[in-house]
Amino acid sequence: MPAGFAAPGVLFAGNSSAPDRAFYRQVFNRLPRDQYTRYVEVGVGSFAAALVAANAGIPPSCMETSDVTLYTGIVGTCVSGGDLTSLGMTLDGEPVELPDAPIVEQAAHLLYVHWLARMQAKPEVDYWTNLVTDMIEREDEHKARLVGSLQQIADRLPGVKFTPKCMWDHIAEAEDDPHAIIIAAPPTYKAGFEKFFDTGGRVEWNEPPYSVFDPDVDMQRLADHMRDKAALLMFLQEERSGIAAHETPVFAHPLGDVARAFVISNRPEEIFKLTGGPKVALGMSRSTAPTSLPIIPPDHQVTDQSRVEVVPAKGTEVDYYRDLWMHRLAAAPGSYNMLVIVDGFVAGVIGYGAETMTRPYPGATKYTTHLLMRFAFGAPHYELRLTRLATMLALRRDSAKLVFTGASEILLAASNGLVTVEYTRHPEAKGLRGLMQLESRAKHPDGYKLSYRADWSTTDIPTTLTAFITKEQAWRASRSKAKKK
């Protein structure tokens, strides 16, 4: 599942993780070139696996790829040198005009139009509205970046073929070919892509007929279907319960406590000849490598039965999510970092600092009794303002206790709460309303510099979660009422 979508580059982030790519590289490196002359990748997404294959020496000219989304339709048609008008893309019923420019610029334009329509279809919460404003204000910059990514893929995959097509149809074309290797990384969530790319019906195109992939049954179906077929199959399966679609997965690595990523093949023995036997990449346990956890899907149902945790994390890990989710990064890195985990998914990041107490600069001595909340930020979500959940959790003294350990324990003990500073365009940071009190407001070239303060909360996590959910429900109800007026 694409991880986040705060920057267009994320569109190209791909789905596989480093261990999977390393495993694929090993197989592709040793794959007998004379035996396998046809590389077929279905659900090719952002071409991540195809690029690994090309790097390992599989000629792009023998690659056939396909997918069913407009996003990959645009990327694939562009990098394979196809005709973008064949996609028949329309916005609000009108054909989207192509600029008179090289194909990468035309494709960047279509991606931009699609992307903007998707963002405009989101609920009107700060996260999305800020994003839309930024996309419009910096259109040229965003497009230039898209052109760069498209050009890079095109340069690395000369001669690759692409067709918008359902994976099952494409597999049927290649499954009896003993010279074909078929690669897939099917969706981990049923209809996740449909939601991810939803424009509320504003954008349409010549979408190929396809069946929605349901991982609960279709991972197994794919493994069973290919069992005795002539083509060699390798696909990625993320499985939360740890049950693989084949009794002998050719590769596995843990994704947090309960989930696993497997690579499944229809001929494990043949793969083992290339790799020297079954492979398992041992990840570190959750407390030391929280980034191995999946990111919360934007439609994940958070209820008061959800399992919410805060776990200490490395600055580098937390910064990864900040880059992904935060719009116009302003906050400095945190010195004391945590992840917010909801039902096993990464749902937010928290970063504290202690400078207010250890190095108060002249004039800022007002806050020497409060530690600094450098940032508390939530993952994008269709319905919930997860930033508020992250903030509420950050305000718990017991959360801070997990990272202010050792010598810094004394700072926490001496503190009464948190202060935070926000640079905003508006005179109030709406996201903090009801959570922290506005202490000061200063004019700033781009808007305002706002300081907020709150005392530590002693609420436990389940109570915090219930309070969050109740508030969110009330907020949604008042918004829908306001909209109806």
Residues that bind ligand SAM (CB under 6 A): 1, 14-16, 42-46, 48-49, 67-69, 72, 166-167, 185-187, 193, 210-211, 213
18 vs 407 by CB, closer to ligand SAM? 18
Nearest-angstrom CA–CA distance, 284 and 295: 17
* The token pair that represents 471 in the structure block: 């508030």
69 vs 199, beta carbon nearer ligand SAM: 69
Closest distance of CB 363 from ligand SAM, Å: 50
Show the tokens assigned to 441: 């407001």
Q: How far is the CB of 49 from ligand SAM (least distance, A)?
A: 5
Spatial CA neighbour of 403 closest among 351, 464, 345:
351
Our CB check for ligand SAM shows the closer of 86 and 466 to be 86
> CB of residue 345 vs ligand SAM: minimum separation in angstroms?
16
Say how many C-beta atoms besides its own lie within 10 A of residue 160's C-beta.
26
Residue 264 host element (H or E)? strand 259-265
In the complex, minimum distance from the CB of residue 168 to ligand SAM, in angstroms, rounded to a whole number? 7
Nearest residue (CB) to ligand SAM, 167 versus 296: 167
CB of 40 to ligand SAM, least distance (A): 12
Considering beta carbons, is residue 16 or 399 the nearer one to ligand SAM?
16
Nearest approach in angstroms of CB 201 to ligand SAM is 18
Residue number with CB closer to ligand SAM (234 or 403): 234
Q: β-strand 370-378 against 417-424: which pairing, if any?
A: parallel
Query: What is the nearest approach in angstroms of ligand SAM to the Cβ of residue 236?
Result: 7
Shorter beta-carbon distance to ligand SAM: residue 43 or 283: 43
| Residue 89: CB minimum distance to ligand SAM, A | 16
User: Is the C-alpha dihedral spanning 349, 355, 361, 365 positive or negative?
Assistant: positive
Question: Measured from the CB of residue 188, what is the shortest distance to ligand SAM in angstroms?
Answer: 6
67-90 b/e (C-beta count within 10 Å ≥ 16 → b): bbbbbbbbbbbbbbebebeebebe
The tokens of 157 are what? 């995959």
Q: What tokens appear for 362 in the block?
A: 């002249």
Is the CB of 193 or the CB of 336 nearer to ligand SAM? 193
How many Å apart are CA 111 and CA 118, to the nearest integer? 10
Q: Which is nearer to ligand SAM, 69 or 292 (CB)?
A: 69
Shorter beta-carbon distance to ligand SAM: residue 49 or 392:
49
- The two beta strands, 180-184 and 38-42, are parallel
The alpha-carbon radius of gyration of the chain (Å, integer) is 24
Distance separating alpha carbons of residues 80 and 87, to the nearest angstrom: 14
Residue 71 Cβ, how far from ligand SAM at the closest point, in Å? 8
Tokens 């996201």 label which residue? 431
Instruction: Answer yes or no: are the C-beta atoms of 163 and 66 closer than 8 Å.
Output: yes
The C-alpha angle with vertex 168 and arms to 165 and 171, in degrees rounded to 5, equals 90
**DSSP labels, 166-209:** -HHHHHHHHTT-TTEEEEE---SSTTHHHHHT--TT-EE--PPP
- Residue 271 CA to its chain's centroid (Å): 30
Contact assessment for residue 261 and residue 236, using Cβ atoms and an 8 Å cutoff: yes
Q: For 468-481, give the secondary structure using H, E and C.
A: HHHHHHHHHHHHHH
CA-CA distance, 438 to 66, in Å (whole number)?
52
